[in-house]
């Protein structure tokens, strides 16, 4: 997800695109969708926990516990499960009024484009998706001024370990399957068959770091 200025007549960047999104969706948005999400908290930074459910792959299996941990850290947490029918204006309003976003690597991470510069994006990187996570969402997030954090899961946090075991190359050397070895069958395993259950003790440290960044945004008047 990027823009190559060299390929268009009038060079534009993701920063320009982010400004365009602001122009399109911020116009009179509070009048149209005021009733669809709570007002921003002035005492706690807001974190959007992006989830997916069903047999789709890369499901955060313990998202309820993650929500509780984020609240214990100090966040106001909104759980967001985007659907094909979710209006982009609704997603924009939620993200643009929040201070942090957390989610497992996947297409829903494109919502980072709706985050304000300075906001925090904590991407949970599942096995076999490290390069794609950085290229598709990490790099663009940094390009628009979003604070990017990565939580790379350990083998024990992936559901694939139950199927393949600790010693299988799919578990021990997932990076070896990225790039030229990324066949459809491999893609299906890492993207469609894999779910995630984060280690709450380890993940808590990342939430605390994101919270500290969120508090600084509030102190600067970004409500």
Which residues are within 8 A (CB) of 3 and not within 5 positions of it... i.e. 6 or more apart? 12, 13, 14, 16, 17
Q: Is residue 11 part of a domain?
A: no
Higher-confidence residue of 44 and 177: namely 44
Q: Determine if residue 220 is left, alpha or beta; phi over 0 gives left, psi from -120 to 50 gives alpha, anything else beta.
A: alpha
Q: Is residue 155 part of a domain?
A: yes
Q: Is residue 1 part of a domain?
A: no
Q: How much is the pTM?
A: 0.87
pLDDT of residue 24: 80
**What is the number of domains present in the chain?**
1
Q: Is residue 43 part of a domain?
A: yes
Helix (H, G, I), strand (E, B) or coil at 100: strand
- pLDDT per residue as tens digits for the range 205-217: 999 999 999 999 9
Higher-confidence residue of 177 and 198: namely 198
Q: Is residue 3 part of a domain?
A: no
Q: Is residue 7 part of a domain?
A: no
Average pLDDT over every residue of 141-164? 96
Q: Is residue 41 part of a domain?
A: yes
Q: Is residue 193 part of a domain?
A: yes
Average pLDDT, the chain: 88
Are β-strands 76-80 and 120-125 bridged in parallel, bridged antiparallel, or unpaired? unpaired
Tokens linked to 192: 């469609």
Domain residues for the domain of 98 are 16-219
Average pLDDT over every residue of 174-181? 72
Name the percent of the chain lying above pLDDT 90: 71
CATH of the domain at 163: 3.40.50
């Amino acid at each position: 997800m990027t823009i190559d200025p060299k390929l268009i007549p009038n060079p534009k960047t993701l920063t320009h695109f982010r400004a365009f999104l602001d122009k399109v969706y911020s116009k009179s948005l509070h009048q149209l969708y005021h009733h669809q999400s709570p007002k921003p908290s002035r005492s706690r930074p807001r974190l959007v926990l992006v989830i997916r459910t069903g047999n789709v792959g890369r499901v955060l299996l313990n998202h309820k516990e993650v929500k509780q941990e984020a609240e214990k850290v100090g966040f106001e947490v909104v759980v967001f499960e985007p659907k094909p029918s979710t209006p982009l204006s609704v997603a924009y309003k939620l993200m643009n009024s929040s201070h942090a976003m957390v989610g497992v690597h996947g297409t829903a991470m494109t919502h980072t484009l709706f985050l304000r510069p300075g906001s925090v994006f904590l991407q949970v990187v599942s096995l076999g998706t490290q390069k794609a996570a950085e290229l598709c969402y990490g790099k663009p997030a940094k390009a628009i001024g979003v604070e990017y954090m990565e939580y790379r899961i350990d083998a024990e946090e992936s559901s694939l370990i139950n199927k393949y075991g600790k010693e299988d190359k799919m578990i021990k050397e997932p990076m070896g399957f990225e790039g030229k070895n990324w066949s459809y069958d491999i893609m299906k395993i890492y993207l469609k068959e894999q779910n995630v259950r984060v280690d709450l003790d380890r993940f808590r440290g990342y939430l605390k770091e994101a919270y500290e960044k969120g508090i600084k945004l509030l102190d600067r008047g970004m409500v």
